[in-house]
Amino acid sequence: MPELPEVHTTATGLQKVLPGLKIVDVWTDYNSSFYAGKDNIKDKKYFKKFRIQIIGKKVIGAGRRGKNVLIHLKDDFTILVHMKMTGHILYGTYRRVKSRKSIKSIKWDPVEPETLKDPFNRFIHFVITFSNGKCLALSDMRKFAKITLLKTSTIDESLDTKHLGPEPLEKNFTFEVFKKQLNKKPSGKIKTVLMDQSLVSGIGNIYSDEILWKTGIHPLKCVKNISNSNLKKIYETVKIILRKGIDFGGDSMSDYRNIHGEKGNFQHKHQAYRKTGEKCSKKNCEGIIVRIKVGGRSAHFCSTHQKI
Ligand SMILES: [Zn+2]
């Protein structure tokens, strides 16, 4: 699932290309009766309303809150996209073609840039067409993504964002704030607590593994048993690792691609995540990376230098 560095990469990419463009059309083939009555474009009725509300609107900017991409429009509207497991937003030129098999079904053929033709970019389920002829397309193999429309002025009170903890890369995210948030779950295991979006927003499976490997803390260690100096180390490492993720353009070990359809490079920098069975790369450590289940998720760590 895209985490803070990937969502950040997408949002900053969109901020470079979208402002000033007018929305001329929107299309989707997400449609599930499971979402009936929900504020989600997967509900047919909701999508109809969504379509009317956004067509003709100009984009004024793009941003991020937690793992949500925010596309701000004129007149106090914001499109919120949570990419979930396999979703990623693309931008470029597409050709809209009617499938020969069924007259109703539409396919979107990528034209340019060339990188949109990567097989991981071919699961298009949502497309916004802009006044310059270009499109924002959401590729989402497993169809778990969420798209909804919010009032820009009340985003922080919306169900999608109000539960989110502080942003770890913001200036006001001090060590005191970090400690206060973690201490809400004193018996929680550090790996689970770091990934809890209500405590700190944006960290998921990949970056929590890398943060704990670098700090030498075992993923199952309880918050209350971590010394103040080690908590400080984790706090500093959260910022370092997330910034590193952004510097490398995000992580594309799985489906993630940037808005041009290109891979990020953080997957080449992993020291723990999906390194099961490999020798630990920490200097003078003879350990091996192992994998265990924590709260239904996998944790990868060095059984020698990461202490419980
Ligand atoms: Zn080690």
Per-residue pLDDT of 220-264, as tens digits, reads 999 999 999 999 999 999 999 999 999 999 999 999 999 999 999
Range of the domain at 63: 4-157
Do 13 and 147 have their domain in common? yes
Distance 120 CA to ligand 1 centre (A): 33
Distance 250 CA to ligand 1 centre (A): 24
Q: With respect to residue 60, please indicate whether it lies within any of the assigned structural domains.
A: yes
Do 139 and 195 have their domain in common? no
Q: What is the mean pLDDT of residues 148-153?
A: 98
43-85 pLDDT, tens digit each:
999 999 999 999 999 999 999 999 999 999 999 999 999 999 9
Q: With respect to residue 168, please indicate whether it lies within any of the assigned structural domains.
A: no
Domain final residue, candidates 127, 157, 187 = 157
Distance CA 229, CA 62 (A): 37
Distance 203 CA to ligand 1 centre (A): 22
Q: What string of H, E and C letters represents the secondary structure of 245-297?
A: HHHCCCCCCCCCCCCCCCCCCHHHHCCCCCCCCCECCCCCCCCEEEEEEECCE
Pairing mode of beta strands 68-73, 135-140? unpaired
Count of the separate structural domains present in the chain: 2
Distance 79 CA to ligand 1 centre (A): 43
Question: Helices 228-247 and 4-17 sit at what angle, rounded to 10 degrees?
Answer: 40
Do 194 and 95 have their domain in common? no
Distance 215 CA to ligand 1 centre (A): 11
Do 143 and 201 have their domain in common? no
Q: With respect to residue 162, please indicate whether it lies within any of the assigned structural domains.
A: no
Do 193 and 288 have their domain in common? yes
Distance 225 CA to ligand 1 centre (A): 21
268-289 pLDDT, tens digit each:
999 999 999 999 999 999 999 9
Structure tokens at 223: 């918050």
> Does residue 100 register a pLDDT over 80?
no
Question: Helices 205-215 and 228-247 sit at what angle, rounded to 10 degrees?
Answer: 130
Distance 214 CA to ligand 1 centre (A): 9
pLDDT above 70: percentage of residues in the chain: 99
Do 80 and 181 have their domain in common? no
Do 129 and 25 have their domain in common? yes
Q: With respect to residue 308, please indicate whether it lies within any of the assigned structural domains.
A: no
Do 187 and 121 have their domain in common? no
Supply the pLDDT for residue 294: 85
CATH for 115: 3.20.190.10
Do 153 and 41 have their domain in common? yes
Distance 283 CA to ligand 1 centre (A): 8
Distance 114 CA to ligand 1 centre (A): 41
The model's pTM is 0.96
Distance 219 CA to ligand 1 centre (A): 13
Distance 305 CA to ligand 1 centre (A): 4
Do 182 and 256 have their domain in common? yes
Distance 291 CA to ligand 1 centre (A): 13
Distance 96 CA to ligand 1 centre (A): 51
